Structure 1
Amino acid sequence: MGLFKKKQHEQEPTDEELTFFSVSEAQEFRSMVRVVFAELGYEVQINADHALDADGRGFGFWNVAANCHNAAASEWREIIRQHLQRVFASFDGADPFDELTAEQASSQTYARLYEESGLPNLDAYPHSQFAPGIVEMLALDLPDTVAVYARKQADTFGGWHALRSQGLTNLRALEHEQVETVPGQGGSSFTALLGESVYTASKALLLPGIATELTGKQPRQDLGWLMSIPNRHQLVWHVIENESVLGALDGMVRFTAMGYSDAPGPVSPHVYWWNGTGYEQLTRLSEEDGSLSIHVSPEFHAVLETATSGE
């Protein structure tokens, strides 16, 4: 089953790039984007997942398309217009780092997780690998947007290690907006942390402490936990204890795929396992039909045997 294919018109395939749209819906969306650009005075080249203006600036479609997908078609033009106006304002506005004070940097910096494939020229920014396909970066929180620290800007305010430490402190201070226990097969369950904050998913950096804090479960070092980050507003985990891991894993695969394909700020469609030293990717994406399959390494297989045997 193609988990990225949300229910569409029965006879119409899903768009390959904007997977929450049918082909005709995606074409309508792209046409509307061109119209709004023209109304704002810009001629652009429309591609499947982004637009390019005459100056070579790229405008990704995913987030604004996701917002349109969740609204009536009659609202698309205004949604696109407001999105582009915010983007152009960020291009034309003053560099937020130019007048930033050390005190402001301390209070407004957050450690944040991003989808690696969505970040061009990643070497220009201080970052670290959090999990396969996911990178941790330094974000400056602003009233209407978020700016990412480039290397020079990070060095100005103390460097990666100092800013990351403060970014984690600020992340811990954020309120946990909504915690849900999601039932799975065979009496299993997993936990989903949900919120409007663009930093909600980045609380994955606080695992396993946040799991113990919110659910009272302390992971066993020999078993670890499952984790996924569908989009910036969702963090999902399951502390491995017994045979319920099988149902939880199956449920997390489906939950994560839908959350990744159907919301702004996608991070990763995959489910990961903490193996004691880092995150191992458990799912693989088929290039042919967009389906996900679970890959069990020898190490994770040993964990499953231990968990299901009741040891």
Structure 2
Amino acid sequence: MTRDDALHPSDAPDSELPMLTVAQAAGLRELAAPYARDGLRHSLGNLAHRCRQAPQAHWPDLVAAHFAALADGGHGDESVEELLRGVHVRLLPRESFTPEMAAVMRYARVVADGLVLAYALDRPASVRILTDRDVERAGLRELGRAAYANLMRVPVECAEVPGGGGARLYSVYGDSHFVAAKALYLPEVARQVGGEPLPAAGALVVVPGRHNLVYHPITDGSVVDALNSLASYALGAYDDGPGALSPRVYWWHDGGLTSLTVIDEATRTFSLRPPPPLLALMKGLDRLDHAGRLAGRAATGAPDLDALTRATAESVRRLDRDPAGLGEAFGSALALAHAHCADDPDGAWIDTWHAWATAVQLGSALFCGAQPQECELGEDLVMRLPETQADPPADARAWLDALYLALVCRQTERVGLLCRVPLERLREDDSVDEYVLAWVDTLHTYLSRRGSMDDVVGKLLDTMRTSVPEHLTHAPKDFVNRVDYQPIALFHRLVAGDRDAFAQTLAEALSEHGGYWGDSAAPRARVALGPLAMASIAYDRGFPIDARQPYLPAYLLNRERIETIPDAGAPS
């Protein structure tokens, strides 16, 4: 038996006014009945919220004050100039939009699940929802323009509030009844309150009440935590009322709001169901963020090199008893290799080399398996990598990292082993866009020499075609354009044999890398790994490349720091 099953029917939540019991709602309707004018039935939602918070003996006074305020709102005798001067866009909860209201507000429209856009006149002591008669007098287009302009002038304050997992949430609030309606124009609001445009992926937003909205720009993997935080906040703030609007979480994108909340009206239960495009984006951002690839929350502080070294060493030591930790160990070693280049940008020091060599060993072992071998992270820090069986994960980007490392460190045998990893396995990665898998296929074909040059060019063209913005579903466009696409552009010049164009494209790639990461202290900000790998191939083929360029460790590029790494070896 559920809790509601045990309630007396009159004590159960009312179906239309769930903040009250059936008995309380019946009493409120009885008090409100004498105030109905011309048969027009008003929504009692906001009034019910006020009554819930007051003793029932005070309800008659609250009801009288509520309808007095409605009566003071005017009767439509304002001039056109007064209408245009005071009209604002306003959001109304869908459940409050009664059939009687709909009959006299045909201009109003549903803009998202649970939300209706209407126009309201802001008067000194009250707010009046406009009717079709008002719209006809002022003109729908003129009224809409004035309502938008007046709404955007409504003063608000903005505060960043903490969300779960470090997600950034921005609360926009004010005294006006119209603040929540600004969610319909979220890009402009974001510029006004934060000085920055919304990302191409849009934002998550909630409008629990008319006086505020809270949004999260979708930039990194914290979107998963933000979704849960916003859902919890929206439910709590909506129940607090009055002025309640919606308990839903919405996705603002492509100029509109899409509800992510599904409400079972029979049981009044809530669930979150992002549509497939947003689910794909969330999965891609989460994987990118946890790998430290995005200039987001993972880039907030400089890594502690000693701590990262100890963590990498310990992750290798644990492999004897926990072989499943190899992927984590590779990620840690890769971050360490990049981080060393903060203090050693040329890659001249032996400790830097040890970190890069260890990353090479772990990346190769992750995808191809390996015989037992030693990994060094300093003279006093030598770990034994146990025998590893080949069990490649469905992680296309990690495979690219392992390949780039092997190319930079001139590990021809490991490059060959990585190119034997079945493409079918890497294609199981559903967290990446199509162009990533096409790029893997291109390099796989080219470096294994299993296809003709025509095959390579065809696959390269597929990679370039699928990397354009309209094909992207998983990764931010800025990241793709400025980071992920750069080695592809360089490879194009490489296979064409155009040395001058390669040098120019390399300079552009490094500039884009620097522009993307800015002053971030994230490990990946230190080295442009993909361009470095392509430049290493070109350097070995006699392309005239200036080794003294930012984000390219010179002593890795020109091979002066390259030393022996234990053979990969096939596991027994």
Give the partner amino acid of 1:254: S
SS in 2 for 1:230: strand
**In proportion to residue count, which structure has more strand?**
1
- 1:92-103 matches, cutoff 5 A: 95-96=75-76, 98=77, 100-103=78-81
1:167 aligns to 2:147 (yes or no): yes
Aligned partner of 2:193 in structure 1 is 214
SS in 1 for 2:262: strand
SS in 1 for 2:209: coil
Describe the shift of the 1:247–1:85 C-alpha distance in structure 2 as closer, same or farther (beyond 3 A).
Answer: same
1:236 aligns to 2:219 (yes or no): no
- 1:82-231 matches, cutoff 5 A: 82-87=65-70, 89=71, 95-96=75-76, 98=77, 100-119=78-97, 120=99, 121-122=101-102, 124-125=104-105, 126-157=107-138, 159-176=139-156, 178-221=157-200, 223-231=201-209
Mean Cα deviation higher: 110-119 or 141-150: 141-150
Structure 2 CA distance, aligned partners of 1:15 and 1:94?
Answer: 32
1:63 aligns to 2:41 (yes or no): no
How big is the alpha-carbon RMSD for the aligned residues of Structure 1 and Structure 2?
2.8
CA contact (8 A) 1:20 1:262 kept: no
Aligned partner of 1:254 in structure 2 is 232
Give the partner amino acid of 1:194: Y
SS in 1 for 2:215: strand
CA contact (8 A) 2:80 2:137 kept: no
Describe the shift of the 1:131–1:81 C-alpha distance in structure 2 as closer, same or farther (beyond 3 A).
Answer: same
Question: Which one has a bigger Cα radius of gyration?
Answer: 2
Can you list the C-alpha shifts for 1:216-254, whole angstroms capped at 9, x where unaligned? 443221x11111211212212111111111111111111
| Structure having greater relative contact order (Cα 8 Å, sep ≥ 6) | 1
Give the partner amino acid of 1:144: A
Aligned partner of 1:48 in structure 2 is none
Structure 2 CA distance, aligned partners of 1:215 and 1:284?
Answer: 30
How many angstroms does 1:293 deviate by? 0.6
Structure 2 CA distance, aligned partners of 1:232 and 1:283?
Answer: 19
CA contact (8 A) 2:203 2:217 kept: yes
Structure 2 CA distance, aligned partners of 1:136 and 1:54?
Answer: 23
How many angstroms does 1:160 deviate by? 1.5
Gaps of 5+ in 2: 5-10, 290-478, 480-572
CA contact (8 A) 2:45 2:96 kept: no
Structure 1 CA distance, aligned partners of 2:168 and 2:66?
Answer: 37
Mean Cα deviation higher: 124-133 or 261-270: 124-133
The correspondence for 1:80, drawn from 56, 63, 66, is: 63
Mean Cα deviation higher: 54-63 or 273-282: 54-63
**In proportion to residue count, which structure has more helix?**
2
CA contact (8 A) 2:252 2:258 kept: yes
Can you list the C-alpha shifts for 1:115-144, whole angstroms capped at 9, x where unaligned? 233222536432344223322222122233
Give the partner amino acid of 1:19: P
Aligned partner of 1:31 in structure 2 is 27
Give the partner amino acid of 2:23: Q
Give the partner amino acid of 2:247: P
Describe the shift of the 1:128–1:254 C-alpha distance in structure 2 as closer, same or farther (beyond 3 A).
Answer: same
Identity of aligned residues (%): 27
Give the partner amino acid of 1:146: V
Mean Cα deviation higher: 248-257 or 125-134: 125-134
The correspondence for 1:301, drawn from 279, 304, 315, is: 279
Give the partner amino acid of 1:182: V
How many angstroms does 1:166 deviate by? 1.0
How many angstroms does 1:53 deviate by? 5.7
Structure 1 CA distance, aligned partners of 2:127 and 2:37?
Answer: 25
Structure 2 CA distance, aligned partners of 1:154 and 1:54?
Answer: 21
CA contact (8 A) 2:191 2:197 kept: yes
